[in-house]
Structure 1
Amino acid sequence: MEELKQIVTNFQENEVSAYGNLPEKTQRFISISVLTTLGTLKEIPAEVEQALKEKISPEEIAEAIIQCTPYIGYSKVMEALEEAETEMIRQGVKLPLSSRNTTTDESRIEKGLAAQYTIFGKENIERNRETAPPELRHIQDYLSGYCFGDFYTRSGLDLQTRELLTFCTLCTLGGCEPQLKAHIGGNLQVGNDRQTLISAVTWCLPNIGFPRTLNAIACINEIAK
Structure 2
Amino acid sequence: MRNTTPARLRLRCFRAGAIVLALGCGIAAMSHAAPAVQESPDMASTPSPAEALSARQQAIAPIGALGAAGDIARLNDALNQGLDAGLTVNEIKEILMQLYAYAGFPRSLNALAELMKVVEARKQRGIQDAAGVVPGRPVPKGDALLAAGTANQTRLSGAPVKGALFDFAPAIDEYLKTHLFGDIFERDNLDWQSRELATVGMLSALPGAESQLQAHMRISLNVGLTDRQLRQLTGVLAERVDADSARRAGEALAKHLAAVPGAK
**TM-score where L is the length of structure 1:** 0.78
Residues 153 and 177 in structure 2, CA contact (< 8 A), matched pair in contact too: yes
Q: Is 2:106 aligned against 1:72?
A: no
Deviations 1:88-121 (A, max 9, x none): 1233369x99754841322322221121111112
Q: Is 2:139 aligned against 1:103?
A: yes
Per the alignment, in what secondary structure is the counterpart of residue 91 of structure 1? helix
Displacement, 1:151? 1.2
Task: Give distance in 1, aligned partners of 2:80 and 2:247.
Answer: 30
Unaligned segments of structure 2, at least 5 residues: 1-50, 258-262
Per the alignment, in what secondary structure is the counterpart of residue 154 of structure 1? coil
Total equivalences in the alignment: 201
Q: Is 2:157 aligned against 1:120?
A: yes
**TM-score where L is the length of structure 2:** 0.68
Residues 32 and 44 in structure 1, CA contact (< 8 A), matched pair in contact too: yes
Q: Is 2:19 aligned against 1:26?
A: no
Task: State which drifts further: 162-171 or 71-80.
Answer: 162-171
Q: 1:210 to 1:198 in 2, by over 3 A?
A: same
Counting aligned pairs with the same residue, the percent is 23
Specify which of 150, 166, 173 is matched with residue 132 of structure 1: 166
Per the alignment, in what secondary structure is the counterpart of residue 187 of structure 2? coil
Unaligned segments of structure 1, at least 5 residues: 1-19
Which has the larger share of helix?
A: 1
Displacement, 1:51? 3.1
Per the alignment, in what secondary structure is the counterpart of residue 79 of structure 2? helix
Deviations 1:9-64 (A, max 9, x none): xxxxxxxxxxx821000111222112211111123333333433344211012112
Residues 25 and 56 in structure 1, CA contact (< 8 A), matched pair in contact too: yes
Task: Give distance in 2, aligned partners of 1:119 and 1:113.
Answer: 10
Alpha-carbon RMSD? 2.5
